[in-house]
Structures are given as C-alpha cells and as structure tokens.
Amino acid sequence: MLLLAALVSVFTTIGIVTILVKESVAFFEQVPLAAFLTDTQWTPLFDDAHFGIVVLLSGTLTSSAVALAIAIPLGTLIAIYLSEFAPFRLREIAKPFLELLGGVPTIIYGYFALLFVTPLLQRIYPELPGFNLLSAGIVMGIMIIPYVSSISEDAMRAVPMTLREGSYAMGATRLQTALRVVVPAAFSGLASAYILGISRAVGETMILAVAAGMQPKLTFNPLEPAATITAYIVQVALGDLPHGSVGYQTIFAAGLTLMLFTLACNIVGHFLRKRFREAY
C-alpha cells in the first residue's frame, strides 16, 4: 500500500513523458523536425502555418536573461549579507519574509508587472509598449530572488567555521573573508542555485502571459512584446482548439521542449548540489 503511494511519483513522471511524447510524435508526423528547429516564423493557427520553435525560444531566452540579470546579483548579495554580515535577529526576520515573497501567486506578479511596473518604466522611457519582455522579466527576477538566495545561503552556511576563523586570524576583514574564502568554498552550491533559478525562469508562465503580450516574434530585444513557450501554451488553451488537431498537438511539442530544457537544468543542479554537500 505505502509502496504504491510512493510509486505515484514514478507514475506521474511516466504519465508526463508518455503524454508529451505521444502527442509530439503525432505532431512531428505532420511537421518535419527540421522545419520545427529552423523555421523563423511561428504561425501555427494561420492557414499558412509555420512552426519555428526558435521564435518562442527567443522570447523565453530574452525574458529569462532579464530575470536572471536581476535575480542572480541581488540573490547572491542577499545571501552573502544574510550569511556573513546580518545580525542574528535580522536574519530571523528576513528569511521568513523572503519565503513569503516566493509564496505569492504568479498571477499576482503578472498583474503587478502589467499595471504597476510597466507604467513606471514608461515614465522613464515613454516609447515602451504596454506589453514588453522587460517589465515581465524584472518582476520575474524579483520573484526568483528568494529561490536563489535561500539555496546560496544554505551553501555558504555549510562552509565550516574553521575556514572563516583561519581567514580572520590572518587579519582579513569580513568582506575579504566572504568574497575570497566563503564564496569560492560554496561555489558549487551557488552554481546549483543559479541553475535552479534558470529553470524557474524558463518555466514561468503567468507573468509572461499577462505582461509580455502573446504575439510570437523573433526578437532578442527586451523592449518589445513577444510570446514565450509557456505563454503560447496558455494562449492556445484559452481558445478552444479541437482535440487532436495540429494546433492542439503544438502545445505538447512546445511542452516537450520546455520539459527537456528544465530537466537538463535540474539534473545539472542536482549534481552540483550533491557536490557541495559532500565537500566537507
């Protein structure tokens, strides 16, 4: 009985892979893989249908890049500060608070990006369109900060005290100890935090569906609106496509692409985390 309950997780994985692969195979029977990978247009619902996943990937990569440009520096800074500098009481308050920040539903962040951050950015840069990757990316970055900072902080606190004491004994300041001793020692843990951050950013859906617009567009300019893989799936699901049509199958092919990407990230992250656990 208990074993069966534990096996549900295995069945779930099998279910996900089976469904994604089955529908994707049906999709690739109609659309050649080469066209999927090399076409530079994504218009699956038009009469003149094109299926170039690169278009959706460009949106995903651009928004993730913006998000990571925010989340990695700020997350690392917060982690170093909380682990090496902050007084005990501040840490006790700040950690649950960051956790709350990570628990806010993503649709709320989407609303915030569209109706608060975008108008704010438009004051600085008036030509910014109402839908854009930049504000979605910024808000997404802020959403990811808690994930990056909590794993990074755990990694740095796993560094043994004796290393720090050795450094202080040599006359190093806190900052020198933090940057030259603790950070290098915890590096694989930091790297795994970054990689998990990437996988969060790539899989994020609602912020982009709400704030980045849903027009597929091959662009690497964050100031433009564009669709990501996840936003496209939402867009199709909102309309009513007949079950079994090519349009219906595209979302599974898109989902498979997404799944493979995040799976790769998670595996690399997992091994890096294992390394920092075993280091001392």
Partner 1 sequence: MKPIDLPDIRGVIARHKRYDALFGVLGLVALMIGVLTFAALFADMAWKGAGRLDWDFFTHFASRRPAQAGILSAWVGSTLVMLVTASFAVPLGVAAGIYLEEYARKNWITDLIEINITNLAGVPSIVYGLLALGLFVYQFGFGQSILSAGLTLALLILPVVIVATREAIRSIPQAIREGSYALGATQWQTVRFHILPYSSAGILTGVIIGMARAIGETAPIITIGALTFIAFLPPSPVKAAPPFISFDWVFSPFTVMPIQMFNWTSRPEAAFQVNAAAAGFVLVLMTLAMNGLAIWLRYRLRRRIKW
Please state, in angstroms and rounded to a whole number, the distance separating the CA atoms of residues 190 and 276.
Answer: 9
Interaction between residue 101 and partner 1 (CB under 8 A): yes
Interaction between residue 234 and partner 1 (CB under 8 A): yes
Of 36-44, 49-57, 72-80, 215-223, the segment contacting partner 1 by CB under 8 A is 72-80
Q: Largest Cα–Cα distance in the chain?
A: 73
Exactly one of 122, 163, 203, 275 binds partner 1 (CB under 8 A); that residue is: 203
Interaction between residue 97 and partner 1 (CB under 8 A): yes
Q: In the complex, what is the shortest distance from the CB of residue 255 to partner 1, in angstroms, rounded to a whole number?
A: 4
**By CB under 8 A, how many residues form the interface with partner 1?**
81
Please state, in angstroms and rounded to a whole number, the distance separating the CA atoms of residues 54 and 62.
Answer: 12
Of 37-45, 50-58, 140-148, 183-191, the segment contacting partner 1 by CB under 8 A is 140-148
Please state, in angstroms and rounded to a whole number, the distance separating the CA atoms of residues 254 and 232.
Answer: 8
Interaction between residue 151 and partner 1 (CB under 8 A): no
Exactly one of 230, 250, 272, 276 binds partner 1 (CB under 8 A); that residue is: 230
Exactly one of 81, 157, 163, 268 binds partner 1 (CB under 8 A); that residue is: 81
Q: In the complex, what is the shortest distance from the CB of residue 48 to partner 1, in angstroms, rounded to a whole number?
A: 26
Beta bridge partners of 51: 42
Which among 77, 268, 137, 84 is positioned nearest to 191, based on CA atoms?
268
User: Which residues ranging from 250 to 279 are in contact with partner 1 (CB under 8 A)?
Assistant: 251-252, 255, 258-259, 262-263, 265-267, 269-270
Interaction between residue 245 and partner 1 (CB under 8 A): no
Q: How far is CA 252 from CA 80, 87, 146, 215, 233, in A?
A: 40, 49, 30, 19, 8
3-state secondary structure of 51: strand
Which among 54, 219, 37 is positioned nearest to 137, based on CA atoms?
219
Q: Which is nearer to partner 1, 41 or 106 (CB)?
A: 106
Q: Which is nearer to partner 1, 127 or 240 (CB)?
A: 240
Q: In the complex, what is the shortest distance from the CB of residue 121 to partner 1, in angstroms, rounded to a whole number?
A: 14
3-state secondary structure of 31: coil
Interaction between residue 99 and partner 1 (CB under 8 A): yes
Interaction between residue 169 and partner 1 (CB under 8 A): no
Cβ pair 39, 52 in contact under 8 A: yes
Please state, in angstroms and rounded to a whole number, the distance separating the CA atoms of residues 179 and 233.
Answer: 42
Interaction between residue 20 and partner 1 (CB under 8 A): yes
Interaction between residue 156 and partner 1 (CB under 8 A): no
The residue with tokens 């909590």 is 150
Cβ pair 201, 68 in contact under 8 A: yes
Q: At what angle do helices 187-203 and 246-278 cross, to 10 degrees?
A: 170
Exactly one of 12, 30, 40, 221 binds partner 1 (CB under 8 A); that residue is: 12
User: Which residues ranging from 28 to 57 are in contact with partner 1 (CB under 8 A)?
Assistant: none
